[in-house]
Copies of this chain bind each other. A is one copy, B any other.
Amino acid sequence: MPDPRFFKVQGPFSAKELAKIGEANLVRNDCGNKKFSDVKTLVEANVEDVSFLHNSSYLEQFKKSNAGLCVLHPLQKKNAPKSMVLLLTERPYVAYAKIAQAFYPVDEPNGLIAETAFIDKTSRVGGLTSIGAGVVIKENVQIGSRCKIDENVIIGAGVKIGDDCRIGVSASVYFSLIGSRVVLYAGVRLGEAGFGFAASSGQFVTLPQLGRVIVGDDVEIGANTTVDRGSGSDTVIGNRCRIDNLVQIAHNVTLGEGCILVSQSGIAGSTKVGNHVVIGGQAAIAGHLSIGDKVKIGGQSGILKDIPPGEQYGGSPGVPIREWLRQAVILGRMAKKRK
C-alpha cells in the first residue's frame, strides 16, 4: 500500500529475519525462509505482505485478511486464517513497529547544505548534517552530526542541538538546549517568550523571560506546537517525551521522562509533571501544580489540583476518573427522567 511516489521499500525479508527484527516467535519454522516484501493493513495485505493485529476491534478484518505474515498476541493465534504465517509476541505493536522500520527506514541525512542556507561563521555543524534552503543559523549555535534541518528553519543564537535530530520545515528554535535523536515537526515554536507580565492599574509590564527550554534525548514534538522558554528557571521536556500537534507548554513547565501529550492539550506555567504521565487530547492543567508519576488524564479534562502518582483523572474540573464516570451516569439518568 505505501505509495511508491512517497515511500521506498527495503527488503524483502524472510520470516526468520522478521522474527529476529521484531523479537517475536515464528510459529511454523518450516516457513522461515519464506520472503515478504512489504507491510500493509489487514484489509490491503496480500500473501507477500506483513500485517499486524493489536486491537481487538480489528478482529473481523484479521479473520478475513490475506496477509502472508501477521504479528499478533499469542491469545489471538486461534483466530488466524490457516495459511497465514504467524509471529507471536506479547507486544505485537512494538514488534510490528520495528519490522515496519526495517522495510521503511528513515532517510539518512546526506550532509548537503543548501546554497540559500545561512550559517553564522561562529556556529558549528556536525558531520553529515543536512541543512535545507532558507535556513538561518545564528551566532554560536552547535548542531551535532547526522541531523536534518529542513527548509526555512530558524535557529537562534546560542542554541545547542545533539546528534541525529530532525527539525521540520519552518520550525523555530530559540534559547534551547536539545538532546540527541530529537524530532521537531514542522512549525514548532520552541523558546518563544512566555506569557509573563505584571499588571499595574490597567497597564501590563512585561517580565523578561530569562530561562531556557531544555529538551532531553529521544523527544518528539508535534507540528505547530508551542513550548515557551522559562521565565527564570527553565522549561524542561524529559527524555522520551512524545508531544502531539498544537500542544501548548507554558514557561517553567517541567515534564518528566516518557510523558505522552495528545494533541491540543495545554499545560500552564510552572506545573511539574512526573514521569510516564499521559495527558489526553484537549486536556488542560492549571499552573503551579504537581502531577505525580504515571498519572493518566482524560481528554478535555481540566486539572485544577495536584494529582498523586498513579491516579487517573477526568472531567472539568478534574476528579478521579471513576467519580467522573459516575457523574456522567448520574447526570444522564436525571436528564432522562421527565422534567
Residues of A whose CB lies within 8 Å of any CB of B are 1-3, 5-7, 39-41, 43-44, 54-55, 57, 91, 93-94, 96-98, 100-101, 103-104, 106, 116, 118, 132-134, 136, 140, 150-152, 154, 157-158, 168-170, 172, 175, 185-187, 189, 192-193, 195, 197-200, 202-208, 210-212, 218, 220, 222-224, 226, 228, 232-233, 240, 242, 244-246, 248, 250, 257-258, 262-264, 266, 268, 276, 281-282, 284, 286, 288, 299-300, 302, 316-317, 319, 323-324, 326-328, 330-332, 334-336
Contact = CB atoms under 8 A, between A and B. Distances in A.
A15 B218 CA distance: 45
A314 to B, nearest CB: 9
Nearest to A336: B323
B97 A206 contact: yes
Contacts of A106: 208
A100 B326 contact: no
Interface centre among A98, A193, A300 (most CB of B within 10 A): A300
Given A170-B172, A195-B222, A336-B323, A248 B246 contact: yes
A282 B281 contact: no
Contact of A316 (B103, B264, B284, B316): B316
How many of these chains are in the complex? 3
Interface centre among A1, A44, A232, A284 (most CB of B within 10 A): A232
29 contacts: A2-B211, A3-B158, A6-B158, A91-B198, A93-B198, A93-B199, A93-B207, A94-B200, A96-B207, A103-B208, A106-B208, A152-B154, A154-B169, A168-B192, A169-B172, A170-B170, A186-B192, A189-B245, A192-B223, A204-B218, A245-B248, A250-B263, A263-B266, A266-B282, A268-B281, A282-B302, A284-B299, A317-B328, A323-B335
A39 B93 contact: no
Interface centre among A223, A257, A324 (most CB of B within 10 A): A223
B263 A264 contact: no
A285 to B, nearest CB: 9
A231 to B, nearest CB: 9
B222 A192 contact: yes
Dominant secondary structure of chain A at its interface with chain B: loop
Given A2-B211, A3-B175, 18 more contacts: A5-B140, A5-B157, A39-B232, A43-B233, A93-B199, A133-B136, A134-B152, A170-B172, A195-B242, A202-B257, A223-B226, A224-B224, A264-B264, A281-B284, A286-B299, A323-B332, A323-B335, A331-B331
Interface centre among A192, A218, A250 (most CB of B within 10 A): A192
A46 to B, nearest CB: 14
A248 B268 contact: no
Contact of A204 (B152, B240, B335): B240
B6 A233 contact: no
Nearest to A223: B189
A39 B187 contact: no
